[in-house]
Amino acid sequence: MKDLWPLRWDPKGGASLADLRNAVAHGDAFGEDDFLALGYASENLTWTLQRILLLALNWNVEDSSVSPRSLRNFYAYQWQTVQQGLKL
C-alpha cells in the first residue's frame, strides 16, 4: 500500500485521504486548483479499497489490475506532486 496515497498521516507532510475526508465532512471549500488532486485521491481510494478486498479474500495483489505494475499506466498513480500542492 506504500505506493498509493496514504490513508492516514503522511510522513512527507502531504494531506492524507483521512485529511481530505475530514475537510469534506466539515464543509471546507476546495478551489479549482484542488480538483485534480481530489480526482487523484478518489482514484487512489478506489485502488486502496480494491487491494483491501483482495487481501481479505487472500488473493495475490500482484496478479490483479490494482498491482503497482498495472497502476503505473494511470495518471492518478503519480499522486505525490498533486498531494504536495493540495492545501487544506
What tens-digit pLDDT sequence spans the chain (88 residues)?
999 999 997 666 789 999 999 999 999 999 888 999 999 999 999 999 999 999 999 999 999 999 999 999 999 999 999 998 887 7
* Rounded to 5°, angle at Cα 45 from 32 and 58: 170
Cβ(59)–Cβ(28) below 8 Å: no
Can you read off the three cell numbers belonging to residue 56? 481479505
